[in-house]
Amino acid sequence: MEEVEFERMEGFHKLRSLWSIEYRVTTLEPILTQAATEEAKELVDSIIGKTIPKDLPDAVPLILGNRAVITGNAVKGVFRHVISAQLREAGVPICYQGVKYTEGKPPEEWQCKPENPCFACTWFGTPSRQGALYFSFLKSVDDVEGVLAGEPIPMIALRDDYRAQRGRAFLMLAPVREGVVFEGYIRGENLSREILGALKEVQDMSERGFIRFGGFKTRGFGSVKIEITRIEEYGTTPFELRRVYEGEELQRFLEECQEAYHRLMGRAER
Ligand SMILES: [Zn+2]
C-alpha cells in the first residue's frame, strides 16, 4: 500500500507539548452505555419506580458515583473507528488492528509495523504499544435521577445473541434520555494539528447525528453531539501553560487543524 506522509509523533522519549481537550457530549437520542450489573439495575429500577412488568430492566446505563458514565475506552473506540474508516476511504493506509468484523475477515487486511505505525496506531495506540491520547470517563453533569428516561422502553429481541436467551421475547431498556449533558476530557502528548483536526472532524459529524455511543445503535439509540469547549496547550521545558483556546479563538484553531487533517486525506491516492 502506498505510504502517505503524516506529521509523525515525536515519540514518548521527548516531551514537546502536552494537551488538555475539554469537551461536552449531549445525547440526541436515548443512550445505553452498557448492559450493567445487578446492583445498577436495582438502583435504576428503584429510581424509575416499580412499573416494569419484569423483575429488573435488562439494560441500564453504567453508573459511578451517582452519575451516568461512558467509559473512556468506549469513547476512544468510537473516535478511532470513525477516523480510521474515513482515512481508509481516502486511501491513507490504516491497519485493521482492533477492528471487529461480524462476518469473516475484512476484504483487504493490512497491519502496520511497530517501527512504522499508521496514523491510527500512532495516536490511539495498540494493545502492545501506548498511544498519545488518553480519554477520560464522560460523566453526566446531573445526578443519575435526573438523566434517566422516565419510562422503560420495551423492545422485541431480534438479535442473535438475545435470541439465545430463552424466555426473553422482549427486553426492557432503561436508557439515559435525550438532551442529557456529559463532560469529559482528552489528554495528549506531542499532538499534531492533524490529529486535533481529526477530533474536530468527528465533532462535525456528530452535529449531524452520525456519531453514536453505547448499545442498540441500530434501534435508534446512542446518537450524541460532541462539542470541544476548551483546549489547553502546555510547554514542557519548563512545564507551563502556553496557551488556552476558548470561544472564537478555539473555533479558528480547530478549523486550522481540520484543514491540516483534510490536507492529509488529500495527499492519498484513492
Ligand atoms: Zn496501525
- Tell me the pLDDT band of 101, cut-offs 50, 70 and 90: low
Measured CA to CA, the distance from residue 86 to residue 15 in angstroms comes to 29
Question: The whole model's pTM is what?
Answer: 0.85
- Please report the pLDDT score of residue 270 as a whole number: 67
Q: What is the DSSP letter of 116?
A: B
Measured CA to CA, the distance from residue 140 to residue 157 in angstroms comes to 28
Burial class for 254, CB neighbours closer than 10 Å (0-12, 13-18, 19+): buried
Distance 210 CA to ligand 1 centre (A): 24
Over residues 134-182, the pLDDT tens digits come to 999 999 999 988 998 877 888 776 555 544 544 556 777 888 999 999 9
- Please report the pLDDT score of residue 83 as a whole number: 97
Ligand 1 ion: nearby residues, β-carbon < 5 Å: 95, 112, 118, 121
Query: Is the pLDDT confidence value at 42 over 80?
Result: no
Distance 197 CA to ligand 1 centre (A): 19
CB atoms within 10 A of CB 116: 11
Distance 188 CA to ligand 1 centre (A): 18
Grid coordinates belonging to 19:
494537551
Distance 146 CA to ligand 1 centre (A): 41
Distance 166 CA to ligand 1 centre (A): 41
Q: Which of 120, 117, 119 is nearest to 99 (CA)?
A: 120
Query: How far is the CA of 3 from the CAs of 6, 108, 118, 198, in angstroms?
Result: 9, 16, 9, 19
Average pLDDT rounded to a whole number, residues 97-125:
76
Distance 202 CA to ligand 1 centre (A): 19
Distance 120 CA to ligand 1 centre (A): 6
Q: Which of 25, 67, 23, 21 is nearest to 211 (CA)?
A: 25
Q: What is the DSSP letter of 47?
A: H
The dihedral region occupied by 225, where left means phi > 0, alpha psi between -120 and 50, and beta the remainder, is beta
Over residues 62-84, the pLDDT tens digits come to 888 899 999 998 899 999 999 99
Distance 30 CA to ligand 1 centre (A): 33
Distance 201 CA to ligand 1 centre (A): 20
CB atoms within 10 A of CB 79: 22
Q: Which of 23, 57, 64, 83 is nearest to 174 (CA)?
A: 57
- Tell me the pLDDT band of 207, cut-offs 50, 70 and 90: very high
CB 232 within 8 A of CB 243: yes
Task: Cell 445503535: give the residue.
Answer: 217
- Tell me the pLDDT band of 55, cut-offs 50, 70 and 90: low
- Please report the pLDDT score of residue 100 as a whole number: 53
Measured CA to CA, the distance from residue 206 to residue 200 in angstroms comes to 10
Distance 1 CA to ligand 1 centre (A): 13
The amino acid occupying position 37 is T
Distance 64 CA to ligand 1 centre (A): 33
Grid coordinates belonging to 58:
435488562
